[in-house]
Chains A and B, each alone.
Chain A
Amino acid sequence: AQKVTQAQTEISVVEKEDVTLDCVYETRDTTYYLFWYKQPPSGELVFLIRRNSFDEQNEISGRYSWNFQKSTSSFNFTITASQVVDSAVYFCALSEEAAGNKLTFGGGTRVLVKP
Chain B
Amino acid sequence: EPEVTQTPSHQVTQMGQEVILRCVPISNHLYFYWYRQILGQKVEFLVSFYNNEISEKSEIFDDQFSVERPDGSNFTLKIRSTKLEDSAMYFCASPGNYGYTFGSGTRLTVV
Among B17-25, B43-51, B67-75, the stretch that binds chain A is: B43-51
Q: Which residues of B contact A99 (CB under 8 A)?
A: 56
| Size bin of chain A's contact surface | 20 to 34
Q: Does A100 contact B (CB under 8 A)?
A: yes
The proximity string for B residues 30-48 relative to A, scoring 1 for CB distances below 8 Å and 0 otherwise, is 0101010000011111001
Interchain CB contact under 8 A, B91 and A102: no
| Size bin of chain B's contact surface | 20 to 34
Nearest CB of B to A4, in Å: 9
Q: With A35-B100, A100-B55 in contact, do A105 and B107 touch (Cβ < 8 Å)? A: no
Interchain CB contact under 8 A, B35 and A103: yes
A interface vs B, CB < 8 Å?
A: 35, 37, 43-45, 47, 49-50, 91, 93, 99-108
